[in-house]
Structures are given as C-alpha cells and as structure tokens.
Amino acid sequence: MEALNANKKYEVLDSNALKLIAILAMTLDHLAWAIWPGFSHNPFAVILHIIGRLTCPIMCYFIAEGYHYTKNLKKYIARMFLFAVISHFPYVFCSFNYVDAWSFLPFAYGSPFNQTGVLWGFAWGLVLIKIHDSQLKTPLKILLTFLILAISFPADWSCIAPMVILSFWSNRGNFKKQMLWMMFWVFVYGVVYFFAIDKIYGFIQLAVCLAIPLLFLYNGRRGKSVVFNKLLKWVFYFYYPLHLAIIGILTYFGVFPIF
C-alpha cells in the first residue's frame, strides 16, 4: 500500500497507531460525558472533549480507505450495520441511563440529535460512497444522498460523518482537499451546535482540526505484525459498544458523575 502524503519523511504513523489514538481519544471523551454530565464548561471536561474530537475524523478516514481496499464490500457494509445496531443499546444506556424497553426506541427523548451511536453514520457513509461510485444518474445520486443524510441525522456526529467519509473518498490522493472538505462539514456541524445546543461546544467541534497533523503523518501501512493487524481490525467494533456499556453500568450504580 502506497502512502498518500506527498512528503515521505514525515510519514511515521501506521493505521494501527492512528486507530489506537482514536480509541483512546474516544474513551476520554465518553468518560468526560459521564464525569461531567451535560454540556459542562468545566475546564477538564472541555479539554477531554477537545481530545475526543480526534476520533471521528481518523475513523472516517480509514472507513473511506477501507472502501478502497476491502475485498468484500457487502460484508464490510453488513458488518458496520450489524455493530451499529448492537451499539445502539449500550449507547442509549450510557447516554440516558434508563433500562426500560421504551428508552431504546428511536426519538424516545424527543430531541433529533444523538439518538444512536456514531457507527450508524459510519455505515451510511459506506453506502454513500457506493452510490457515488456507481453508474446511477446524477439526479438519483443526489436524491439518495439527501435520503441518507436524513436517515443518518439522528446519529452521533449526525449526517456530518457520512459526508466527511464521502469527501475523503472522492478526494483520495489529494490530502489538502480532503482536509478542507472535512473542515467545511465540521464547520457546518459547529454552527448547528453553536445556535441549537451550546455555544462553547460549537467551537469544540472545530478541534477536529487537531487530527489533520496526525493524518498527515500516516504512512499508508497497517502495521508490521500480521496477527496484530487482524486483531485490531475487530477491536473498534467490539470496543465501541463494550466501553459504552461499562461506562453506563458505572453511571447507573452511582460511580459517575464524580463531580
């Protein structure tokens, strides 16, 4: 696999290292939500949420790369949707800490935002690439794109994640354009957050830019260990719902919030 960045001497991080960074950042971000519930302006919470902005762009980048390299696209998409459904339950439990069956229904809490996990948007991002990589007529592609944006809107990172994934794929090989389009969509997300949810957290979304230098260091390789490569392929799928369930359980039994 050839690296996509132009300056070879800076390419020092493989995909395994970047994914581990994403997993660590995600964990810190979700712990911050549990320790300081709501849109806390506590400095420590803000710092952890800023670190957490590394996760989505890194994972979106490698989902777009995964589309290019996968040997079986149908299995890849099916796997993403399977874990999106599985993750929905621990995501809701972790976010709202209710255990009755009604809590897991879509829009049980009225808000159109953050009703299910980020994997839902990731899965539709793959479908979106497939649509734009097909021979469908342009008007149909546009119509299907809007339908997918509507379907993915309630997920964590909303319909922004599918559009970032599509932008990474459509501009593959042009790192500057990939990052500019990523920041454009995140800016849109930040504006929505600023006016509809919380002004500080609107600005926090823009911390996604911190992932740019990390992605710039990507060397286009998975890692040296074949065994570790195969293991890490599945780690995020299982870790995502598992860590949400653990945080949810700790919150349910009063360990969180601490402050």
Nearest-angstrom CA–CA distance, 90 and 71: 30
* Whole-number average pLDDT of the chain: 91
Nearest to 34 by CA among 244, 215, 193, 192: 244
Q: What is the pLDDT of residue 9?
A: 56
**pLDDT at res. 112:** 73
Rounded CA separation 198/234 (Å): 34
CA 213 to chain centre: 18
- Give φ, ψ of 116 to 5 degrees: -155, 175
The pLDDT of residue 257? 82
CA distances from 116 to 59, 84, 103 (A): 17, 8, 11
Spans of the chain, pLDDT less than 70: 1-10, 98-110, 258-259
pLDDT value at residue 110: 63
Q: Facing residues of 13 across strands?
A: 218
Let me know: does 116 contact 91? Beta carbons within 8 Å: yes
pLDDT value for 223: 76
| Residue 138: C-alpha distances to residues 143, 150, 162, 177 (Å) | 9, 19, 18, 22
What's the confidence (pLDDT) of residue 4? 47
State the pLDDT at residue 228.
75
pTM over 0.85: yes
What phi and psi values does residue 160 have, to the nearest 5 degrees? -70, -40
Tokens of 126: 């793959």
pLDDT at 8: 55
Greatest CA separation found in the chain?
A: 55
